[in-house]
Every structure is written in structure tokens, then in C-alpha cells.
Structure 1
Amino acid sequence: MSELNNILLVDVGNTRIKYMRGHDSQIRYVSDLNSLPCNEFDEVRIATVSRTHEIEAWGQSIPARVQIAKVRKEHRGLSVAYEDVSRLGVDRWLAMLALWVERNRAFGVVDLGTAITADFVDSSGNHSGGYIVPGYRLMKQALGKNTDQVGFGGNSSEQKLGLNTEECVDHGINRLVYSFLTDLIKTEGDGSAFVLTGGDAEKVMRTGSVTNTEIDESLVIRGLRYCFE
């Protein structure tokens, strides 16, 4: 896999772009595609859920070969539960792929991003299915759009009773998320490894409310190492 040294791995999300150089373990961030160090690499592998057309147009302006990851029904021993794999977010698939190839054991993986997604894979590499619920930001936005006098301030990790509207929103959403994750571990984990990723993973772990878990922030990017083989 030494050829990966000439490949740039890029995760283009809804709010930020992160990348990794070949086998490098350090994640770096840029604000736009043009800020990526593409001229140093022969190939750029990209994961994106919603910005495919933008990336295809951008790819024509750089000398490196650009490959955009797509979900496969069967790959490297991982079998996807969806009948229509085009309906499965590529970020979810890449996270599962990285964990399966590198660990080869049963696991649950939760991505705490714009949406919160949870997926489970058994010890044979079969994707059992998953869940999708709104993430922190989406829940706050829904309250702000549909309820008068609900503020957006605050980023507390507390679950106690709120003493103002902002605290009530923050603490209530925290309680929903922590209860959801705790229930998942109890009912779906079945002794499997349970991994958190995504922008809000650190916030969840700081509380100590969700136990028997670990954080792995580079899953989607590492999945790009294996998806084109």
C-alpha cells in the first residue's frame, strides 16, 4: 500500500473539508477545495454526500486524477443491508468499511454530525442496518423555526433542568442524544466495539454519560484507502 503516499484523501462535509496525506494519521482542515494541496499528489480520493457536481467541475482544473467514492453492495468482506445502495450515505459506508477492514470484528459506529447516524455490522461483515436522527444543530434549527422565543445560544453538555430558554434547549437535546446512545449500546451493541465519530463526538464523550465507547475521527477518510481496491 505504499502507493497511498501519492494519494490525497479528502472528506468534503456539509460544514468543513478535512484531508489526510496517504498513510499520515493527522487530519487537516481547509475552508474550500482550492486550498487543498493537490499539486503534490497523483490522485485525489474524495468522499462527499451532496457536493458531487461541484467536485466534478473542480476536478477538471487540477492535474491530479480525482476519484469520488461510491457505495458498493459487497466490498472487502463488508455486505451492505440496503437493497438500493445509492440510498446509503457514502460517509456511513466508508466509516463501516474502515472499521471492518482494520478490525474484522463486530461493531457499532455512530456519526454525530449534522444528522446522527448509527450503523451496526456483525462478526461476519454483514451490515445489520441503522438509524438516522437529527443532530444537535438540526434539532436547534427546528425549534428556532417552529417555536417562538426559542434561542440558539449555548453549547452546554449538561442534562439538568434548564433555568432559561437556552439552557432548556441545550440540556433537553443533550438528554435526548445521550439517552439515544445509551439505549443503542444496551440493545444493539451485544458486546461489540462501539465507536463514535463526527463533529459532536468529543462533546458527548466529555460528559461521561455514554460509556463503553471510543472516538475515531478519521474513519471516513481511512475508508477511502480501501474503497477503490
Structure 2
Amino acid sequence: MLLLIDAGNTRIKWGIPDSQQPPAPSKPQWRIITSVAHDQTDQLVSAWQQHPISKILISNVAGTEVKARLTTLLAQAFPGLQPEWFASQKACAGVRNSYANPQQLGCDRFASAIAATYLYPSQHVIVATCGTATTVDAVSARAEFSGGMILPGLKLMAESLARNTAQLPQVAESIQVDQPFADNTDQAIVSGCIHAQAGAITLAYHLLQKKQAETVICLISGGAAPYLLPHLSFQCEHIANLVLTGLFVVAQSNPS
């Protein structure tokens, strides 16, 4: 049984795919998929030990302390089983990485690009991941990660203005895309942050569409995705577990 872990800056997601999977390019089917905050990792060992795990694949962008913590927890849960740490490289699972320094690309972004290619083969795709940071990446129909943008995430952007960030989700839901001009400062800040995020995604979508002169698919993931989706003027598919899907594809391409 395969354990996949996506260690992000805010939460640690993990999932176990079903042994029986529909044929590609369908979304993976999961036996379990869940997440914990960084201060809740003590509960992971008992949760993991309920499953007969034989392989572990991890994407970690949360730094060395989180990596060390996960290493300790996995050793407690599965003594003798060595986890594999996914890293960006020149090519993996049929996807080429066009970063000038391929290893510099965040492994979560590369995993998401692999997932996008798996789900939409031979399609141009914009992948927007909206978490602590927002990344907006382009993946070509030739299965090539072309590059992307990085900007502060929705919450981080609002926090930089230091107003009403605790109520950000509730306020975000009240802003309408056809009413961007708020009549009070708190909503004006949230409106500006939301439309800056949506504007970056929209710009990337239209630029790739113009460059390729073909249909472009847009995928969105991350905790802030539900707040941004209503403010995008084109169809964008919300996929909650894009990194884990990419890890699933990598594991399938290298089953040893």
C-alpha cells in the first residue's frame, strides 16, 4: 500500500490511493485522504499504522525542521521502511522541466505539473496553486513545465496591510466580481487582494492562450481556491489534491 505525503507551509496532507484505479486520465481514487496542521503531527503515527504501508513518497516544501519531524514519525510508524523524498529534476513521469536550474523548482509545483499532464494529456494547462504563496504555472501540451509566477498568497497579502485578516474568509465570500469597489476599508483591502490574485491567474491564462493559439485548461488548487473561483471570468477546475495526484503519478511511473 502506498502512502503519499504533501508537506506544505501550513498543513501536511496525506493520502492512500485505492489499489484499484480507473484508467488514466481519470482522477485517482483514494482509500483515505486528509490533512493536519503542523502542530498536530503527533496524531499521524497512530493514523498511519492502521494501514499496511509498503512504500512512502513525500513532497516537502516546509523546510528542514518539518522534514526531520516527518522522518522521525515515519520511523516510529514503519521501522525499517525508507521514505522517498520527491525532488524536482530535469524530467520525471514524462514531464520535462524547463527551469534554468531544474532542482530550484519547488517540488510541489513540479508534482502539480505532472498531475496536470496526467489529467489533461496533450493540453495546454495553467496550474494555479493558492496557499501561503500563490503560484501560477504554465504546462504545455508537449508535457513541458514552461515556467510560472510566484506572488504572496491571499492571506499573506492581506496580512501585509494588517487589517481584519482574522475575518478574511467571511469577508472574501461577500465580495462580488462585478462590484470590486468597496465602500469601507476592510472590504477594500480584501477586494484588492482577491482581484490581484484573480488578475494574475487571468493574465497567465490569456497570455498562454494567445501564445499557443489553442484551448487552454485552467486548474486551481490550494486553501484559498474557493475564495478566488467566483472572481475568475473563465472556467477553472478546482482540484483539491493536485500535489498528491502528481505524487501518485510519479509512484505509478516508478513502481519499484
Q: Which residue of 1 aligns with 2:94?
A: 77
Residue 55 (str. 1) matches residue 44 (str. 2):
no
Taking every aligned residue pair, what percent have the same amino acid on both sides? 23
1:94 Cα shift? 0.5
What is the distance in 2 between the residues matched to 1:43 and 1:169?
45
**Equivalent position to 2:113, from 93, 96, 103:** 96
**Equivalent position to 2:2, from 7, 27, 34:** 7
More helix by share: 2
- Residue 161 of structure 1 aligns to a residue whose secondary structure is coil
1:197 Cα shift? 0.8
- Residue 211 of structure 1 aligns to a residue whose secondary structure is coil
What is the distance in 2 between the residues matched to 1:137 and 1:61?
35
Stretch moving more, 50-59 or 107-116: 50-59
Q: Which residue of 2 aligns with 1:171?
A: 191
Gaps of 5+ in 2: 19-28
Q: Which residue of 1 aligns with 2:42?
A: 34
Indicate conservation of the 8 Å contact 2:110/2:145, yes or no.
no
Cα distance 1:176–1:208, how it changes in 2: closer, same or farther (>3 A)? closer
Stretch moving more, 84-93 or 53-62: 53-62
Indicate conservation of the 8 Å contact 1:81/1:127, yes or no.
yes
Tell me the TM-score normalized by structure 1: 0.86
Q: Which residue of 1 aligns with 2:206?
A: 186
Indicate conservation of the 8 Å contact 2:220/2:236, yes or no.
yes
Indicate conservation of the 8 Å contact 1:76/1:101, yes or no.
no
- Residue 134 of structure 2 aligns to a residue whose secondary structure is strand
- Residue 226 of structure 1 aligns to a residue whose secondary structure is helix
**Equivalent position to 1:128, from 134, 141, 146:** 146
What is the distance in 2 between the residues matched to 1:54 and 1:83?
31
Cα distance 1:119–1:19, how it changes in 2: closer, same or farther (>3 A)? same
The count of aligned residue pairs is 218
1:168 Cα shift? 1.4
Q: In structure 2, what residue type is equivalent to 1:136?
A: L
**Equivalent position to 1:201, from 216, 222, 225:** 225
Q: Which residue of 1 aligns with 2:135?
A: 117
- Residue 224 of structure 1 aligns to a residue whose secondary structure is helix
1:208 Cα shift? 4.8
Moved beyond 6 Å, runs of 4+: none
1:80 Cα shift? 0.5
